[in-house]
Structure 1
Amino acid sequence: MLKQTLLPNEVVICDDGSTDGTIDLLYQYKATAPFEVHIFRNPVQLGFNKNFEQVLGRCTRDLVFICDQDDYWMPEKLEVMAAFMAENPDAQIAFNNAFVADDELNNLHELFWLRVRFDEEAQQQWKNGEAMEVLLDGPRMMGCATVIRHGFIPKLIPIPTDIPKYIYDGCISLVGAAYDAIRFVDKPLQLYRTHNSQQIGVRAAPVPPRTRLRDRFTRPRAEKLEPLVFKRMQMEKIRQFLAGRVPENSPAMQQLTRKLAHYTMRSTLSTNRLQRIYPVLRDLQRGLYHRYADAATDWYSPYLAAIGDLLE
């Protein structure tokens, strides 16, 4: 932070019950920093989601940069991102790319966005107004790469703790997408440290395992339904989180509703195979099996999924 070409106006810290000497270091930092440093200690441990919620509420300046990590920010990070927000007044949230590093901060020359499969195709889909659909496949934005306009924070909190695989930054990105107010900056402005002891962090996004056609006739039906039920319940939680925060008829909410309806159909198909024909062929004809197929799968995977829904 001290090496930034654009220094912050304030640094706000909420300590969530550390016991390793962190507080002493923070007060040493406060004594010499050329900007305001506000330190708060939680009387009881809140956990990282609620701690981030609290610290966001204590920030007072126009732009809030989340700094929750043991990574390294390039000296120009604050200046570049602040300039981007000034040039894009419609953006309420923005996030930058990063280089992945090892635990000694050695640059592995791997872009973070590729690790979370935020590739050119996903970026173009985002630019086309479908950020919500991209994020429903999994979080793409990490908190330590994020800047938020202060006036947008009331729309972000309270932050839920019960959406599977979405922690605070994933939830923040969903709200930004719901308002079509989240943008990305394709510049690696930090080194993202990876190590085994980090409390929260992002690992390489796994490609879903391929299900062979013959396996579809032998595996238990409950095994087939498990990921579909999980995805449906996850999106139901997301919908509950966004309800009342964003207009129900917004394009992003329509994207969520459409995908939720598809997974609800797939996870609740009748045990009578004849009764499955119409809903499966309807969504196949509408292109929904193709739209929601994993980008890393083969061209015929949507058809295999439809066949599985008809027969399994």
Structure 2
Amino acid sequence: MHNNQGLSVSVCMATYNGRAFIEAQLDSILPQLTEQDELVVSDNSSTDGTWELLKAYQENDHRIRLFKNERPGVIGNFEYAISKGQNDLIFLSDQDDVWQPNKVSVMKKYFQGHPNITVIVSDLIIVDNDFQTLIPSYQALRHTKPGFWHNLLRSSYIGAGMAFRKELKDLILPIPSDVPMHDMWIGLLADHTKGVVFIPDQLVYYRRHGLNTTEIKTSASKVQQFQWRWKAWRLVRKRLTENKKNT
């Protein structure tokens, strides 16, 4: 097993028209990365100057790797970013959050201390556009706890707080286009195999505003929610079966 310094990090970020807030996120992530780490950004054809800003950052920082994603939607965008991540630990990142300055070091330490755990999810502080606290704990809001069936019924996996080991890529990729959400897919697969650890550290300011792609609380009907869960269960079961045949 690597020593703690030896665990290299790939931060995988999906962007789409995030020019208004992405600088704060980049400035919160890059100082935490070592020389061996990387920030992988997959952009979904932004038209607001996001790509140009990213290019300007890249000119000053060789650790930034930029890709243009062809597959539509947030799931396809994250899938592409993840597929390009090369290092030991994959951290997922939204474009509009801000990380606490110790996020990478805290999560690396948890991975180091738990070699059998493949996914770790931190708590988040939910804030508005001006970083005023709306909800002090995402985990308290969602009654977060590990376990496959619990999270199939009420998913508390949240990509903005999620990091996982590179080995999991073989299981999670490709991500089916009809899963409800990429973080739910990753969490369910990991929980079914090796388990997910939720840590109480609040390591992300999770920004909620009118432009977010994902929502905290769903407005979907009970029938729609049941259909999502049934589909998620079928897709997870199918992938686990395929994986067993290939190993």
2:56 paired with 1:28: yes
Deviation of 1:67 after TM superposition, in Å, equals 1.0
> In the alignment, which residue of structure 2 is the partner of 1:38?
65
TM-superposed deviation, 1:162: 2.4
For residues 112 and 239 of structure 1, do their structure 2 counterparts lie closer, same or farther at Cα, with a shift above 3 Å needed?
Answer: closer
Gap runs ≥5 in structure 1 = 207-225, 249-312
AA aligned to 2:164 is: I
- Are the counterparts in 2 of residues 7 and 78 from structure 1 also a CA contact under 8 Å? no
From 141, 149, 170, the equivalent of 2:165 is 149
Q: Secondary structure at the match of 1:14?
A: strand
Which consecutive segments of 4 or more residues in structure 1 shift more than 6 A?
Answer: none
- How far off its partner does 1:231 sit? 5.5
- What is the correspondence of 1:114-153 to structure 2 with a 5 Å cutoff? 114-118=140-144, 123=145, 126=146, 131-153=147-169
| Cα separation, partners in 2 of 1:45 and 1:81, compared to 1, 3 Å | same
Quick one: which amino acid aligns to residue 216 of structure 2? V
TM-score, with structure 2 as normaliser:
0.78
Name the structure where strand makes up a greater proportion of residues.
2
CA distance in 1, matches of 2:227, 2:212: 28
1:239 is aligned to 233
Counterpart residue type for residue 95 of structure 1: V
The one-letter code matched in structure 2 to 1:52 is F
Q: 1:106 to 1:71 in 2, by over 3 A?
A: same
What are structure 2's unaligned runs of at least 5 residues?
A: 1-28, 243-247
CA distance in 2, matches of 1:75, 1:197: 25
Equivalent residue number for residue 61 of structure 1: 87
In 2: Cα distance, 1:8 partner to 1:201 partner: 34
- Over 3 Å counting, the alpha-carbon distance change for 1:98 and 1:109 in structure 2 is same
Residue in 2 that maps onto 1:194: 208
Q: Match for residue 183 of structure 1?
A: 197
Q: Which SS does the other structure have where 1:187 is aligned?
A: strand
CA distance in 1, matches of 2:210, 2:116: 38
CA displacement, residues 247-272 of structure 1 (integer Å, 9 cap, x when unaligned): 69xxxxxxxxxxxxxxxxxxxxxxxx
- Residues 6 and 79, structure 1, Cα contact 8 Å, conserved in 2: no
Taking CA–CA contacts closer than 8 Å with sequence separation of 6 or more, which of the two structures ends up with the larger relative contact order? 2
Partner Cα separation in structure 2 for residue 172 and residue 61 of structure 1:
17
Identity of aligned residues (%): 25
Q: Which one of the candidate residues 38, 41, 49 is aligned to 1:13?
A: 41
> 1:107: how far off?
2.8
Aligned to 2:102: 76
- Deviations 1:67-113, CA, capped at 9 Å, x for gaps: 12311100000000011001111111111001111111123452111
Q: Which amino acid aligns with 2:32?
A: Q
TM-score under structure 1 length normalisation: 0.63
SS in 2 for 1:135: helix
Local SS of the residue matching 1:246: helix
Instruction: Give the match's secondary structure for 2:48.
Output: coil
- The DSSP-based 3-state class of the residue aligned with 2:200 is strand
The alpha-carbon distance between structure 1 residues 84 and 6, as it changes in their structure 2 partners (threshold 3 A), is farther
Contact 2:127–2:207 (Cα < 8 Å) also in 1: yes
- Counterpart secondary structure, 1:140: coil
Q: How many pairs align? A: 215
Aligned-residue offset at 1:10:
0.7
Structure 1 position 57, deviation (Å): 0.8
Contact 2:123 2:200 in 1 (8 A): yes
Q: Report the equivalent of 1:289.
A: none
Cα 1:7/1:69, change in 2 over 3 Å? farther
* Cα distance in 2 between the residues matched to 1:138 and 1:109: 19
- Does structure 2 conserve the Cα–Cα contact (< 8 Å) formed by 1:101 and 1:107? yes
Distance change >3 Å, CA 8–CA 67, structure 1 → 2: farther
What is the rounded CA distance, in whole Å, between the counterparts of 1:29 and 1:200 in structure 2?
Answer: 26
RMSD of aligned Cα (Å): 2.6
Local SS of the residue matching 1:53: helix
Amino acid of the structure 1 residue aligned with 2:58: K
